[in-house]
Amino acid sequence: MRPGVTMASADSLNITLHGRGGHGSRPETTIDPVLMAAATTVRLQGIVSRELAASDSAVVSVGQIHSGTKNNIIPETATLGLSVRTFNEATRDKILGSIERIAKGEATASGAPKEPEIHFEERFPLTVNDEAATGRVSAAFKAKFGETQIIDPGPVSGSEDVGVLAKAAGAPLVFWFLGGAEPALFKEFASTGRLPEDIPSNHSPYFAPVIQPTLTRGTEALVTAAREFLAAPS
């Protein structure tokens, strides 16, 4: 756990690229949106590596590409599904502007009949932990579990919407992460330098936290935090 900015803001958006469909045997009569989508996807990966300062943190991921229904038909459209993670509004604005510029530029380069359509699906704000409340919970956790069991992981590029709830409720936010990996496996990969790649994370099909002691420790953490604020005897 950590005070202040804990997790990134997230933007989810879809880009529909327009081409001209036709038979796969005669691509010269078409404007191929699949090729357009592929070129756009590759180009988008240059935003973080080439348009942001090394001191900035951000992620641009293309999680979906949808186009076509048949192997020998060049379709009319292709759609990209993007996820963008940023830690401040200036970086967010820059990246979203770059995405729009690249999508329109690739469409123009391909001779698309019209500009891409960009639709925003959802947005999560930054997850910002209240500093005073986080300090209280951290002290309570250290007293309960030991000093070495609580670490500051630094800002995480994942996102959460719990900040919306905290703001609506007018309550201080304290969001923490709970370890759940097999300790022996974690130790092995740490010694070989293969962390974090070989430890499956959430959304991985291989994500399988060890039930115990994860479940018990998580319950104890919730109770400890609640007691800290309810002033109940330990």
Q: Can you tell me the distance from the alpha carbon of 34 to that of 66, in angstroms, rounded to the nearest whole number?
A: 9
Give Cβ neighbours of residue 39 (< 8 Å, ≥ 6 apart): 106, 109, 110
- DSSP letters, the chain, are --SEEEE-EEEEEEEEEE-B-EETT-GGGSB-HHHHHHHHHHHHTHHHHHHS-TT--EEEEEEEEE--SSTTEE-SEEEEEEEEEESSHHHHHHHHHHHHHHHHHHHHHHT-SS--EEEEEEEE--EEE-HHHHHHHHHHHHHHH-GGG------BS---SHHHHHHHHT----------S-HHHHHHHHHHT-TTTTS--TTSTT----HHHHHHHHHHHHHHHHHHHHT---
Mention the CATH class of domain 9-124.
alpha beta
Q: Give strand pairing partners of 82.
A: 13, 62
Structure tokens, 93: 């604005």
Where along the chain do the CATH 3.30.70.360 domains lie?
A: 9-124
Q: Can you tell me the distance from the alpha carbon of 130 to that of 136, in angstroms, rounded to the nearest whole number?
A: 10
Q: Can you tell me the distance from the alpha carbon of 30 to that of 110, in angstroms, rounded to the nearest whole number?
A: 10
Res 233: pLDDT:
55
Exposed, middle or buried: residue 25 (CB in 10 Å: 0-12, 13-18, 19+)? Answer: exposed
Q: CA angle 126-128-134, nearest 5°?
A: 160
Structure tokens, 98: 């770059």
Q: Give strand pairing partners of 120.
A: 13
Structure tokens, 24: 């796969």
| Residue-by-residue pLDDT tens, the chain, 234 positions | 999 999 999 999 999 999 999 999 999 999 999 999 999 999 999 999 999 999 999 999 999 999 999 999 999 999 999 999 999 999 999 999 999 999 999 999 999 999 999 999 999 999 999 999 999 999 999 999 999 999 999 999 999 999 999 999 999 999 999 988 888 877 777 787 777 677 788 888 888 888 999 999 999 999 999 999 997 555
Q: Can you tell me the distance from the alpha carbon of 48 to that of 6, in angstroms, rounded to the nearest whole number?
A: 20
pTM of the model: 0.86
Give Cβ neighbours of residue 186 (< 8 Å, ≥ 6 apart): 195, 199
Distance of CA 162 to the CA centre of its chain: 15
